[in-house]
């Protein structure tokens, strides 16, 4: 019955997947020649709207991926084990504002920079996740495709956030401040159970951070339009 639930959810998600891709509006930062010359000519307001939409879609797909992975590979007993073990997310040590008071005290530029830190920190781990899930038996193509889609959209989101920061700072292109290099490296191949728990933790943490990206970007939008509740 547990497996049927996952398969039924997978069937519905598979039907909706083409629609999700068609409603996604690309950031369109990259020209065919590889240069990033389109986004600078989009107004700051419209670019922020597109960045927010990207973040919304990434969070939605991360929720679907995490739920599907959980139902396919993580029994309830292991879910309890993960919660009790208190696995730490890879971005826990980053200077990202979390409380309402912290967020209220930071500037719009630092708010956007916090989003950039989160986006950049997850690009490497999501590529790793694609690689490790290839070793699973019975992993549905839909889950692999969602993970690949998120990886690609993270890079697109990074491009949009960088250009948006450039517009706000009125400076040259911003360089990467935080890199996933060295923060996420596994040299020893774990056993299957450990791999499942590690990947489950990654997906759960990414879902949490993807939601934080969306919330911070929407807060920036309301600040820009003076329409915060």
Q: Tens digit of pLDDT for each residue in 79-107?
A: 555 554 556 788 888 888 878 788 888 88
Beta-carbon contacts of 30 under 8 Å, excluding residues fewer than 6 positions away, are 36, 38, 159
Question: What pLDDT does 225 receive?
Answer: 85
CA–CA distances in Å: residue 131 to residues 69, 119, 124: 15, 19, 11
What b/e string do you get for 138-158 counting C-beta neighbours within 10 Å, with b at 16 or more? Answer: ebbebbbebbebbbebbbbbb
Question: What pLDDT does 171 receive?
Answer: 54
Q: Which two tokens stand for residue 178?
A: 């935080």
Question: What pLDDT does 29 receive?
Answer: 57
Question: What pLDDT does 181 receive?
Answer: 42
Length of the chain: 229
Question: What pLDDT does 80 receive?
Answer: 53
Question: What pLDDT does 86 receive?
Answer: 56
Question: What pLDDT does 35 receive?
Answer: 39
* Below-50 pLDDT ranges, the chain: 1-26, 31-37, 84, 172-183, 185-188
Question: What pLDDT does 39 receive?
Answer: 61
Domains of the chain from N-terminus onward: 43-85+106-177+212-228 (1.20.1250)
């Amino acid at each position: 019955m547990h497996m049927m639930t996952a398969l039924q959810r997978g069937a519905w998600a598979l039907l909706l997947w083409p629609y999700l891709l068609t409603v996604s509006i690309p950031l369109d930062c990259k020209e065919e020649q590889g240069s990033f010359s389109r986004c600078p000519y989009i107004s700051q307001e419209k670019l922020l709207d597109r960045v927010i939409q990207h973040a919304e879609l990434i969070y939605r797909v991360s929720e679907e991926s995490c739920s599907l992975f959980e139902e396919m590979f993580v029994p309830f007993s292991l879910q309890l084990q993960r919660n009790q073990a208190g696995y730490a997310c890879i971005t826990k040590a980053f200077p990202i504002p979390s409380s309402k008071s912290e967020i209220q005290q930071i500037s719009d530029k630092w708010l956007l920079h916090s989003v950039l830190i989160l986006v950049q920190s997850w690009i490497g781990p999501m590529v790793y996740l694609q690689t490790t899930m290839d070793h699973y038996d019975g992993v549905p193509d839909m889950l692999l495709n969602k993970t690949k889609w998120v990886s690609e959209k993270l890079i697109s989101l990074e491009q949009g956030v960088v250009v948006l920061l450039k517009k706000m700072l009125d400076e040259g292109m911003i360089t990467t401040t935080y890199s996933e290099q060295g923060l996420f490296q596994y040299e020893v191949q774990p056993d299957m159970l450990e791999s499942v728990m590690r990947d489950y933790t990654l997906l759960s943490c990414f879902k949490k951070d993807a939601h934080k990206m969306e919330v911070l970007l929407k807060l920036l939008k309301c600040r820009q339009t003076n329409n915060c509740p």
